Amino acid sequence: MMLELKDLHVYYGAIHALQGISLKVEEGEIVTLIGANGAGKSTTLNTISGLNRVQNGSIIFNGKDITRMSPPDIVKLGICQVPEGRRIFPNMTVLENLELGAYLRSDKEGIKKDLEDVYRRFPRLLERKGQLAGTLSGGEQQMLAIGRALMSRPRLLLMDEPSMGLAPIIVKDIFNIIKEINQSGTTILLVEQNARMALSIAHRGYVLETGRITLEGPAKELADNPQVQKAYLGG
Range of the domain at 176: 3-232
CB atoms within 10 A of CB 121: 17
CB atoms within 10 A of CB 196: 15
pLDDT of residue 1: 93
Between CA 130 and CA 85 the distance in angstroms is 22
pLDDT of residue 216: 98
Q: Single out the residue of 196, 133, 184, 194 nearest to residue 155, CA to CA.
A: 184
pLDDT of residue 85: 80
Between CA 92 and CA 61 the distance in angstroms is 33
Question: What is this structure's pTM?
Answer: 0.94
The values of phi and psi at residue 204, to 5°, are: -140, 165
pLDDT of residue 86: 82
Q: Do 215 and 222 contact (CB within 8 A), yes or no?
A: yes
Q: Single out the residue of 85, 87, 233 nearest to residue 164, CA to CA.
A: 85
pLDDT of residue 95: 98
User: How is 83-116 classified by DSSP, letter by letter?
Assistant: -TT----TTSBHHHHHHHTTTT---HHHHHHHHH
Phi-psi region of 50 (alpha: psi -120 to 50; beta: other; left: phi over 0): left
Number of domains in the chain: 1
pLDDT of residue 41: 96
pLDDT of residue 104: 86
pLDDT of residue 235: 59
Between CA 194 and CA 34 the distance in angstroms is 8
Burial category of 134 from C-beta neighbours within 10 Å (exposed 0-12, middle 13-18, buried 19 and up): exposed
Q: Do 34 and 213 contact (CB within 8 A), yes or no?
A: no
Between CA 146 and CA 192 the distance in angstroms is 15
Amino acid identity at 168: P
What are the helix (H) ranges across the chain?
Answer: 41-48, 71-77, 94-100, 108-121, 123-127, 138-150, 168-183, 195-201, 219-224, 226-232
Could you tell me the CATH number of the domain that includes residue 15?
3.40.50.300
**Residues in the chain with pLDDT values less than 70:** 235
